[in-house]
Amino acid sequence: MTQLIKRSDESKEGPDINVLHRRLVEFPKAWLSMKLPPYFYALVHDAVYDLAPSFVTSDLSRFKKPHEQCEWYRATLLITYFLMDSSFKDSK
């Protein structure tokens, strides 16, 4: 069954590409190591809560696996890092 996705006619401009590039270049090198920073869950929680105030901590239950088993934790950290930049916050 095919579903149609209703799109808004209103478009928003996102962050400047130069800002995105700078943010990527400034990504903390320590976060590239195999071990996640001890404040990983706090970063993810704060980023999600900032975007969705109805968010509750129990929604982070999918992060209960050891980080060695989940490569997407590292991607989550990168996405969180981008979302917490003021240029993303301004383009909500």
Residue 31 lies in a domain: yes
pLDDT at 6: 52
pLDDT higher than threshold 70 for residue 5: no
Residue 12 lies in a domain: no
Residue 69 lies in a domain: yes
Residue 39 lies in a domain: yes
Q: For the chain, what is the largest distance between any 2 Cα atoms, rounded to a whole number of angstroms?
A: 46
pLDDT classification of 91: cutoffs 50, 70, 90: low
The pTM of the full predicted model, rounded to 2 decimals, is 0.66
Residue 9 lies in a domain: no
Q: Are the beta carbons of 73 and 36 closer than 8 angstroms?
A: yes
Rounded CA-CA distance 45/56 in Å is 9
Count of structural domains, the chain: 1
Residue 2 lies in a domain: no
Q: Which residue has the higher pLDDT, 8 or 24?
A: 24
Query: pLDDT (tens digit, 9 = 90+) per residue, 24-82?
Result: 999 888 888 777 888 888 888 888 888 888 877 777 777 777 766 777 888 888 888 88
pLDDT at 83: 84
- Domain holding 21, by residue range, is 17-90
- CA 85 to chain centroid, in Å, comes to 10
Residue 41 lies in a domain: yes
Residue 6 lies in a domain: no
pLDDT at 1: 44
